Structure 1
Amino acid sequence: MLALRLARGAHPLVLFRRLLVAAAAAGTGFLLLSALGHAAAHPATATDSFVRLLWCAVPAAATTQLAVSAARTDPASRPHRGMSDAGLGPARLTVIASAATAVSCVLGSLLALLAFLAVRGDLGGATATGSATRLLGAGHPFPLAGALMLLAVVPLTASAATAIALRPGKEKRGHTPGPASRTGAGVPLAATDGDSSAMTTALPWGMALTAAGLALETYVSRGPADPDTLLPLPGRLIGSPPGVLAGWTLSAIGLVLAGPGLAQLSGRLLAAGRPGAVRLLAGRVLQDESRRIGRPLGVLCAVASGTYAAAKVYEAAPTRPFGPLTGLGAALVLACVTASALTAALEARWARTHTTAALRRLGTPRSLLHRAAALRFLALLLVLGPLTWVIAELAALPLLH
């Protein structure tokens, strides 16, 4: 009940983020129900239905990431003065944040169930025909108990991930540096030695995993390409070499692992040499925020490279157009990872509130802060953009020849 009351009195931007989580949960729930409906209507193709269900893990993971990002920026999940005396300590706030995440996901899942049954024609009205019959299993018995079990996956996963991400004690271990980690003048420190060395070590490991994934994909894709066995996405899932998907997975994990190191590298390049005030401020802030924004940016780069490679592969096979479920899944994943990256940027902006206030008290003009922010964005774009494009081209190349 307390989570519901906090949700009712939340800021409109907080409510908007929770609505985004509910919408993402609805889209993922619809994909899960589609896989279940296909399995119920085509019992002879159990393997096809199982692979369809496995593909739903991608939008489910993207939805979970978005839910965690939204919970981290929720003011109700942060401790405030006097809340511990009222019985709302860090542990209780974590429970409330997990409950709020579960409520948003449950609402989205219920909306997905209603939309799915309506499209199938199970709620009355016009009976589904054509592609709805083939993809959703309209006209065949639908296991409601199995549907409810599948719909519970996203709320439970998102709630558990939120509890782990916000568990008490993370700030003490330095994972989320606060105002105490800043200098007396409020100027952000670049990073602690431990954080800097950890990110520097993770960068080559991430690049090594990405290279290993590309090499694995190249090895298993040798020989002439068959248009009927190119990249399988929902709608045409059978006929893909498992090594291709394993290679893409390794490449994606490598990009996510290397994300903080790439962000820190961008900050170091900005502050290299004899920088001016704008370049020095942009580089130091970017290094300070590299751990917070690096992972979401790595996920965004991984999804962008996979989307680009998939689009190139589908261009080489015009007989295999994108299906409606493929489009829904791709749009859902892209929207989730983009919203997560923007939310991480918002969290980073909130974390440097004291630094910005201190700089303003020292007489720093707002135009300088705006130029520094634009320079940080440009540095990340120049470092991550070409890298993402190169990885996407290398990932698609073995499948096109």
Structure 2
Amino acid sequence: MLALRLTRSAHPAVQLRRLLVAAASAGTGFLLLCALGHALGHSGAPSASALRLAWCAAPMAATVHLAVAVARTDPGTRPRPGLSAVGLGPARLMAISATTTALSCALGSLLALLVFLFLRGGLTGVPSGGAAADFLAADRPLPFPATLTLLALVPLSASAAVAVTLRPREPAPGASRGARAYGRFGAARRPAGPETFGAYGRFGRQLGAAARGRRTARAPQEEKRGAVPDTPEAVPGVPEAVSGVPEAVPGAAEAVPGGTGVPPAPARSVLSGLPWGISVLAVGLAVEAFASRTGSDGAPVDRPGALVGLALTAVGLALAGPGLTHLCGLLLQAVRPGALRLLAGRILMTEAARIGRPLGVVCAVLSAAGAMASLSGSDGPSVGPLTTLGVLLVAGCTTATLLTAAVEAKHARADTTAALLRLGAPLTTLRKAAALRAGALLALFGPLTLAVAELSAWPLAR
């Protein structure tokens, strides 16, 4: 009931994103039902029906990916202070997100069933003819258990993925042990080196932060007596330009480090997937080249293996997306950057983990679509209506996921943007930085997509 109330009272933009999830679920459910209809009408060719059902995995994965991205940006289920007091902790909010996602996908599955029954003639009594009669099987009864199982795949998969993604995460065991670790004689932190027996009582080591607080409070009295105060300027490594700026301009503490307002993400965690992505991409291209070899009669030896290679190239691009986005941010800041390039590059480095993977998925989908278009344009098989629907569904879901991740990134840096505006940064500068980021990503991922599409289509067209 709470999930229904949150769904009804959400913002129109949030409702639009949920409707996109429902539409994607409807398209995927319709493709699954068409695979079932083809299996009913062609009982003598189970391999062809299984291949049609296997092709539905790509639209279903794209739909689940979109559902997870929409659930992450839902403001109604975002943890806020005070909700735990009324029983809405992180676990309860995660359950509400999963339930809301299941409701949206169930609505789409119900719409797919109604459209499929309408085309079969179950609602009007007149089935559709022509090319649609091949996958509708209007002359055969529709099995209820198989229909219910296929329609439940998308809601269950999407809700399970949302629950796994938004599950409450406990702090790392090493970090918790380090925070609660005590040194000798009850010291508040683990000593860096060995201590002797009398180290506890010397120079106030046992006091820690309390001693530093009392030294700060005694600073005015020490100044009157001629003592040197313990100020940040006297501490090595703290520049004078940093001290005093947050007090002069509230909220500018985030805008001081690096001069950009956006601290970069850890490069090791972002770039860790780049070698794996490049390796999987190379393996996929090698599989395509190996599968495109011809036998003695000139026929291709292993055409399904080429499709496996195409899938591997897509996975490689998706894995390499965050690392490539991070490197794009580094290239923007190379060779004596100005304030605009520094700001755009630092934001790209920060958002590499958030928008890099959806961008890599879009790159993979576009490269696969380009390879399929080049094959079908020459002497390849003709593209049917279900294939067109599947391609449009995958492309639309991945594009919507990328836009949703961009909206999430914009909301995540809202405080930093406000701090830059308070510091006097012009709004046109922020817009130019956004255009520069988009141009840099297009300049890197555009030629990469074309190159992968050509390399994927070349072995298959031989």
Under a length normalisation based on structure 1, what TM-score does the superposition of the two structures give?
A: 0.91
Residue of structure 2 equivalent to 1:190: 264
Q: Tell me if 1:349 matches 2:410.
A: yes
Secondary structure at the aligned position of 2:379 is classed as: coil
- Residues 166-200 of structure 1 deviation map (CA, whole Å, 9 limit, x = unaligned): 11128989xxxxxxxx98234111123xxx11322
Question: Is the contact between residue 132 and residue 138 of structure 1 (CA under 8 Å) also seen in structure 2?
Answer: no
CA deviation map 1:292-343 (0-9, x unaligned): 001101111110100000000001126x221010011000000000000000
Residues of 1 paired with 2:144 and 2:384: CA distance? 25
How many corresponding residue pairs? 380
Letter in 1 for 2:69: S
Change (3 A) 1:274 1:36: same
Alignment of 1:281-360 (within 5 A): 281-317=343-379, 320-360=381-421
CA distance in 2, matches of 1:357, 1:327: 44
State the 1:220 CA deviation.
1.1
Aligned residues of 1:293 and 1:344 also touching (Cα < 8 A): yes
Match of 2:422 among 357, 361, 376: 361
1:251 aligns with 2:313: yes
What is the aligned partner in structure 1 of residue 114 from structure 2? 114
- Show the counterpart of 2:76: 76
Query: How far has the Cα of 1:222 moved from its partner?
Result: 1.4
Offset at residue 248 of structure 1 (A): 1.1
CA contact (8 A) 1:225 1:400 kept: no
In structure 2, C-alpha distance between the alignment counterparts of 1:245 and 1:9, rounded to whole Å: 45
| Distance across 1 between alignment mates of 2:170 and 2:438 | 28
Q: Is the 8 A contact 2:329 2:346 kept in 1?
A: yes
Contact 2:64 2:157 in 1 (8 A): yes
- Residue 135 (structure 1) shift: 2.0
- Distance in structure 1 (CA, Å) of the matches to 2:297 and 2:278: 30
Q: Tell me which of 288, 298, 309 is aligned to 1:217.
A: 288
Question: 2: distance between equivalents of 1:228 and 1:48?
Answer: 20
> Following the alignment from structure 2 to structure 1, what is the Cα–Cα distance between the partners of residues 252 and 433?
19
Change (3 A) 1:278 1:138: same
Which range moves more in the overlay, 283-292 or 144-153? Answer: 144-153
1:11 is matched with 11
CA drift of 1:242 comes to 2.4
1:207 maps onto 2:278 in alignment: yes
CA contact (8 A) 1:18 1:70 kept: yes
**Which residues in structure 2 correspond to 1:114-193 (within 5 Å)?**
114-169=114-169, 184-186=253-255, 187-192=261-266
Inter-partner Cα distance in structure 2 for 1:345 and 1:107: 26
The letter for the 1-side match of 2:60 is A
Q: Describe the shift of the 1:336–1:246 C-alpha distance in structure 2 as closer, same or farther (beyond 3 A).
A: same
Q: Decide whether the 8 Å contact of 1:133 with 1:139 is kept in 2.
A: no
Tell me which amino acid in the other structure corresponds to 1:380. L
Are the aligned partners of 1:225 and 1:399 in contact in 2 as well (CA < 8 Å)?
no
AA partner of residue 391 (structure 2):
A
Aligned to 1:176: none
Consecutive unaligned residues in structure 1, runs of 5 or more = 174-181, 230-238
RMSD: 2.0
1:126 Cα offset (Å): 2.2
The one-letter code of the counterpart of 2:37 is G
Letter of the structure 1 residue corresponding to residue 149 of structure 2: M
Q: How does 1:43-54 map to 2 (within 5 A)?
A: 43-54=43-54
The secondary structure found in structure 2 opposite 1:152 is: helix
Higher alpha-carbon deviation: 128-137 or 3-12: 128-137
TM-score of the superposition, structure 2-length normalised? Answer: 0.79
The aligned residue for residue 209 of structure 2 is none
Displacement after TM superposition at 1:51 (Å): 0.8
Match of 1:232?
Answer: none
Mark the CA change 1:200 to 1:37 in structure 2 (over 3 Å): closer, same or farther: same
Q: Counterpart of 2:212?
A: none
CA distance, structure 1, for counterparts of residue 171 and residue 402 of structure 2: 21
In 2, Cα distance between equivalents of 1:269 and 1:96: 42
> C-alpha separation between the residues in 2 aligned to 1:324 and 1:226?
33
Q: Please give the residue correspondences for 1:82-121 in structure 2 after superposition, counting only pairs within 5 Å.
A: 82-121=82-121
Larger CA deviation: 249-258 vs 6-15: 249-258
Aligned to 2:328: 266
Whole-Å separation in 1 of the counterparts to 2:85 and 2:153: 35
Of 261, 280, 283, which residue of structure 1 is paired with 2:342? 280
Q: 1:276 to 1:222 in 2, by over 3 A?
A: same
Structure 2: how far apart are the matches of 1:125 and 1:7? 36
Deviation per CA, 1:42-80, whole angstroms, max 9, x where unpaired? Answer: 111111101110110100000000000000100012111
Shift of 1:223: 2.5
Match of 1:233 in 2: none
* Distance apart, 1:124 and its partner CA: 2.2
What is the letter of the counterpart of residue 185 of structure 1? Answer: E
* Equivalent position to 2:446, from 360, 382, 385: 385
**Quick check: 1:217–1:243 contact (8 Å CA) kept in 2?**
yes
Please state if 1:25 is matched with 2:25.
yes
Residue pair 2:252, 2:423 contacting (<8 A) in 1 also: no
The structure number with the bigger radius of gyration is 2
